[in-house]
Structure 1
Amino acid sequence: MRRWPKVALGNVCTPVERFVTPTAGTTYRQLGVRLWGEGAYEREIIDGADTKYSKFNRIEANDLVVNKIWARNGSVAVATEELAGTHVSGEFPTFSLDRDRADPRWMRLITKWRGFWTLCDEKAQGTSGKNRIKPTQFLSIRVPLPPLPEQQAIVNRLDTLADKARQVNEHLDAIERDADRLLAVSFRKAIADATLRPMAAVAPSVRRSVTIDIDKRYREVGARSFGKGLFVKPDFDGADATWQKPVWINAGDVVLSNIKAWEGAIAVAGAEHDGCIASHRYITCVPDPSVLTAGFLAYFLLSAEGLEQIGFASPGTADRNRTLSLTNLGKIEVALPQIATQNTFNTLQAKVAALKARHATIRQANDALIPATLERVFSGAN
C-alpha cells in the first residue's frame, strides 16, 4: 500500500464562528456528537430562553465538529447535509474544511479511526477525567492525507463495502422476521383448543433461599429485558455480598425479575446457570413437567398476550415501582396443549434460536469489517 504523508489538521481546517445570540421565543435546532466516531445527530429543539449559553454557533454541512470534553473518546464528526442549520455551544469547536485538499467523506473516515481517537486523547488536557482538548491542540493533530482523487477512490470503495454489509444485515433481519412469524403462527395453532390453567397450579413459584457463607464464592445471574435471556455476573466472595435473601437458580427454572418482568426480563435457566444465585428481586417458577415445559411457558410470557398479563400483574405507574405480585402471577392462565405438541414447538424455538445465533456471529463480523479495513487503510501512512 502507498505510504501517505501526515498533515496537521490546521493545514486543512479553519475555525468558523457563525455566532447567534439565543433569543427568548425563538427555537433552535441543536447538534450533538456521538462517541467513538458514530457521527453527529440532531438533538432536541430548544427555546432561546431555556439555554445557559450566551451564544450558539450555527453548523453548516461538512463542518468538522469537536466535542472538547469527549474528543478523547472519539466525539468528533463531520456534519451531514441534514444537520445544516443546527447549533452548538462553545463546548463544540467547529471547523470548515479545505475542500481542495480534504474530502469531507475522507475526514469522516478519519473520525471513525481508532488511531485518531488515540491522537485526540494524547492532546487532551486536565486531570479531572473530563480532559478538554483545546482547538489549537486539536489542529496540531497530524492525519493521513493522500491526494484528493485517491481519497475519493478509497471512500467510494469503502462506501460500497459498507453498503454490502448493510444489505447482508437487512437480509438477516428479514429472515429472522419470517422465523418469528413462523413461531407465532405455530404457537397460536398449538394453543387453539388447549385447556387453560393458572400458573400457580402448573408452574408455581419456588423460592430456594441461600444462606451466604462468607468463605465461599458465588456466581450471580440477572435477566435482561426484552427477552434477551439471562447473563452471568463475575464471581464474588460471600463476604462481599451486598444484598440479603438471595435465591438459588436451577436449570429449567423460568426466571422473572419482579421489577422488570413487565419489560420482558423473563428467561429459562440453562445448564450454565445451574447453581447460580440471584437477588431477592427474582422469582423462580418451576413448571410441572407432566403438563408444561419451561420453553413453552417462557414463550407465552414473552408474547404480546403474556406481557400484557404480566403488566396487569405488576401494579404501579413508576418504572422502578412496577413490582410483579406473586399472587397476581399465580392467577395468570396458561394454555396447556399436549406435551408432545409443546416439545415440537420447543424444537422449532431451538432451531430459530440457533439461526439467530449464527446471524449474530455474521453481524459481529460485519460490524468489525469497516473498522478493520480502516486500520489497514491508515496503516499505509508515513
Structure 2
Amino acid sequence: MNEIKVPLPPVDEQRRIVSWLGAISGRVTEARDILARRHRDIIDVAKSMLFPYGSTDRRVAFGRLLDRRTLNVRVESDVEYQFAGVYSFGRGMFVAGRKAGRDFAYKELARVRAGQFCYPKLMAWEGAFAVVPSECDGMHVSPEFPVFDINQDLVIPEVIEAYFKMPDVWSKLAGDSIGTNLRRRRLNPSDLLAAEMPLPSMDRQLQYRQVARQLKAADLAMQVMESDLDVLLPAALVQLFCSEKPLADGRLPSSAVGRIPEFAASDRSRPSLVDDSDEEISDALICCVVADELQKAGKRCRRFHLSKFAYIAKRIGGIPIYAEFIRHVAGPWSPRINDVAQHTAVHRGWLAMKGERGDELIPGPRFAEALAMAQQKHGVHLGKLNAILSKLHTFGDSGLERWATILKVVEDLQGANRSVTEEAIQAEIDGWPGKREKDAFGRDSVQKAIRGMVHEHWLPPIAAQ
C-alpha cells in the first residue's frame, strides 16, 4: 500500500470535489424519494380502479381463479437450465442465472410461460409474487416456486398482478405472525387457493388493462431512472479520476480539475455529467453488450450486425431498446442504432472503429466501464439478452438477416391486423426491395427459418396459407 500513489488535487480543489459530489448525492436521494412516491401512486391508481373502498364486488376463492401446474421438466445432469427468480415487494419476475443439472439437487423443474402466476413459498410474506413477463417465457423455476395458469374467463393477468402488488394483501396471506416466525412461514399452494379476493366485473378489468399498459410503461421508465441513479456517482468519480492520467507528482491535470462544476451543495441546479440522452446511452450500452458477446465467440462485430441483433433482442426478448426499426435492403435497420447509439459508444470510448471502411467495432479504452454500466442499467434483462445473442452468433450473415427479416415481416403483418401465414410472409419478403434477388430468401430457406423460430418459441405455430 505504501508504494501506491493516489492522484491528489490541491486542498481547494478537494473541497470543490466534495461539494460537487455532495450535491449529486443530495439530488440522487431526492430523486429516489420521488420515484418511491410515484411507485406508490401507481399502486394506488390500480387499487382505486379495481378495488375501491366500499366496493360490493363478490369475493372469489383463488381455487377458481388459478390452476396449479405440475413440474414438467425432468432434470438431466449435462443440460444447462436458464432460471427465473421473483423479486420481493411486488417487483415482479427477473432473469436469473444458468445452471447445469449436475449443479443442483432438484430432480424436476417447472418451465414457466408468459401470463402464468408464480411465487416462492418461503418469500410470499414479503410480496414475492409475479405474473410471468414475456422476457421470462420458457425459463425454469425450482419446485419451491408453485406455478399456476390464470383462468382468464374470470380474471385477466393484469388484475392478478395488480392485486399482489398491494402490501395489505401480503400481510393477509401471511397471517398474524410477526418477526422470525413470519420469516419461517411458508405459503403453501393449498392455503393460497383457499384465500379469496374481490373480483371486479370483466368490463372494469378490461378498462384497467388499457390503463395498466400506461402504468407499466411509466414503471419501466422509473426502473431505468433508478438504474441511472445507481451509476451516477460512480460515473462522476470516473469522470474525475479515470479519464485523465495523473501527473508525475500524483496531481490531477488541470484539464481534469477544470471539469468540476462551480456550484455549492446548496445550489439547486442539477449537475450535468453527460450530453447524451438517457435513451442514447441505454441503446449504446446494448451495442457494447452485442460487441462483447461477439468478441467472446471469436467473431467480428460489424455495423451490419448491430441493427439485426438489437431488433431481434427487442422483438423476442422484450429488451428495453428505444430505437425503432424500418425495412432496409439489408434487413431491419435503425438509424438510432447504427448512427446515434454507435456514435455515442465511440464518443465515450466504449467502442472504437476499425477497418478500411470503419465498419467494424472493437472494444474501446473504456469498454469495461460500459459493461459495468450495462449490468447496472440492463442487469434484469442481460440473462435473456445474452441467451439470444449466444444463439444468434452461431448464424452466418445470411441466416441472421433472414431471421431478422422474417420477424419484422411478422410484426408488420400483425400491426396491420393481417393473417400471418407462410404464404403471407413470403409475399411480403418478395415485395421487400432487395430481398427477392437473394438466395437466402428463397421459399425453402424461408420455410426452414420459420420452422426454426417456431421451435425456439420465437414465433407461434404458423399455417402454410
Answer whether TM exceeds 0.5 for this pair: yes
Which residues of 2 match residues 100-179 of structure 1 at below 5 A? 123=1, 137=2, 141-179=4-42
Q: Structure 2: how far apart are the matches of 1:364 and 1:234?
A: 20
More helix by share: 2
Q: Which residue matches 1:381?
A: 246
Deviations 1:73-94 (A, max 9, x none): xxxxxxxxxxxxxxxxxxxxxx
Q: Which residue matches 2:333?
A: none
Q: Is the 8 A contact 1:243 1:279 kept in 2?
A: yes
Q: Structure 1: how far apart are the matches of 2:158 and 2:176?
A: 21
Question: Are 1:186 and 2:49 an aligned pair?
Answer: yes
- Please state whether the residue corresponding to 1:251 is helix, strand or coil: coil
Deviations 1:40-61 (A, max 9, x none): xxxxxxxxxxxxxxxxxxxxxx
Q: Which residue matches 1:217?
A: 80
Q: Which residue matches 1:340?
A: 203
Q: Is the 8 A contact 2:76 2:102 kept in 1?
A: yes
Q: Structure 1: how far apart are the matches of 2:178 and 2:73?
A: 28
Residue 148 to residue 273, structure 1, CA distance change in 2 (3 Å) = closer
Q: Which residue matches 2:230?
A: 367
Q: Which residue matches 1:357?
A: 220
Q: Which residue matches 1:133?
A: none
More strand by share: 1
Gaps of 5+ in 1: 1-122, 124-136
Deviations 1:147-199 (A, max 9, x none): 32232233333333443444444443443333333223223239923221111
Q: Which residue matches 2:101?
A: 238
Q: Structure 2: how far apart are the matches of 1:368 and 1:202?
A: 42
Q: Structure 2: how far apart are the matches of 1:147 and 1:216?
A: 58
Which residue identity does 2:20 align to in structure 1? R
Q: Structure 1: how far apart are the matches of 2:41 and 2:178?
A: 34
Question: Are 1:326 and 2:189 an aligned pair?
Answer: yes
Deviations 1:89-146 (A, max 9, x none): xxxxxxxxxxxxxxxxxxxxxxxxxxxxxxxxxx3xxxxxxxxxxxxx4xx5432333
Q: Structure 1: how far apart are the matches of 2:126 and 2:229?
A: 29
Q: Which residue matches 2:67?
A: 204
RMSD: 3.0
Residue 376 to residue 301, structure 1, CA distance change in 2 (3 Å) = closer
Q: Structure 1: how far apart are the matches of 2:161 and 2:88?
A: 13
Deviations 1:255-279 (A, max 9, x none): 0211211221110012222222211
Q: Structure 2: how far apart are the matches of 1:213 and 1:198?
A: 37
Residue 372 to residue 232, structure 1, CA distance change in 2 (3 Å) = closer
Higher alpha-carbon Rg: 1
Q: Structure 1: how far apart are the matches of 2:219 and 2:168?
A: 23
Q: Structure 1: how far apart are the matches of 2:160 and 2:53?
A: 13
- The one of 67, 73, 90 aligned to 1:227: 90
Question: Are 1:289 and 2:152 an aligned pair?
Answer: yes
Q: Structure 2: how far apart are the matches of 1:239 and 1:156?
A: 53
Q: Structure 2: how far apart are the matches of 1:324 and 1:317?
A: 15
Q: Structure 1: how far apart are the matches of 2:22 and 2:176?
A: 49
Q: Structure 2: how far apart are the matches of 1:155 and 1:143?
A: 16
Residue 333 to residue 363, structure 1, CA distance change in 2 (3 Å) = closer
Which residue identity does 1:242 align to in structure 2? A
Q: Is the 8 A contact 1:255 1:267 kept in 2?
A: yes
How many residues of Structure 1 are paired with residues of Structure 2 in the alignment?
245
Calculate the TM-score normalised by the size of structure 1: 0.56
Comparing 316-325 and 326-335, the one that deviates more: 316-325
Q: Is the 8 A contact 2:89 2:167 kept in 1?
A: no
Which residue identity does 1:307 align to in structure 2? W
Which residue identity does 1:340 align to in structure 2? D
Deviations 1:320-374 (A, max 9, x none): 6412233221111122222231132233333223212212222332332332222
Q: Structure 1: how far apart are the matches of 2:64 and 2:19?
A: 63
Q: Is the 8 A contact 2:90 2:166 kept in 1?
A: no
Comparing 252-261 and 224-233, the one that deviates more: 224-233
Q: Which residue matches 1:264?
A: 127
Q: Which residue matches 2:174?
A: 311
- Please state whether the residue corresponding to 1:189 is helix, strand or coil: coil
Q: Which residue matches 1:298?
A: 161
Q: Which residue matches 2:342?
A: none
Residue 316 to residue 249, structure 1, CA distance change in 2 (3 Å) = farther
Which residue identity does 2:144 align to in structure 1? R
Q: Is the 8 A contact 1:297 1:334 kept in 2?
A: no
Comparing 284-293 and 233-242, the one that deviates more: 233-242
Residue 381 to residue 289, structure 1, CA distance change in 2 (3 Å) = same
Q: Structure 2: how far apart are the matches of 1:316 and 1:155?
A: 40
Q: Is the 8 A contact 1:314 1:324 kept in 2?
A: no
Calculate the TM-score normalised by the size of structure 2: 0.47
Q: Structure 2: how far apart are the matches of 1:215 and 1:141?
A: 46
Q: Which residue matches 1:25?
A: none
Cα shift at 1:207: 1.8
Q: Is the 8 A contact 1:254 1:286 kept in 2?
A: yes
Which residue identity does 2:190 align to in structure 1? T
Percent of matched pairs sharing the same residue:
23
Which residue identity does 2:14 align to in structure 1? Q
- Please state whether the residue corresponding to 2:162 is helix, strand or coil: helix
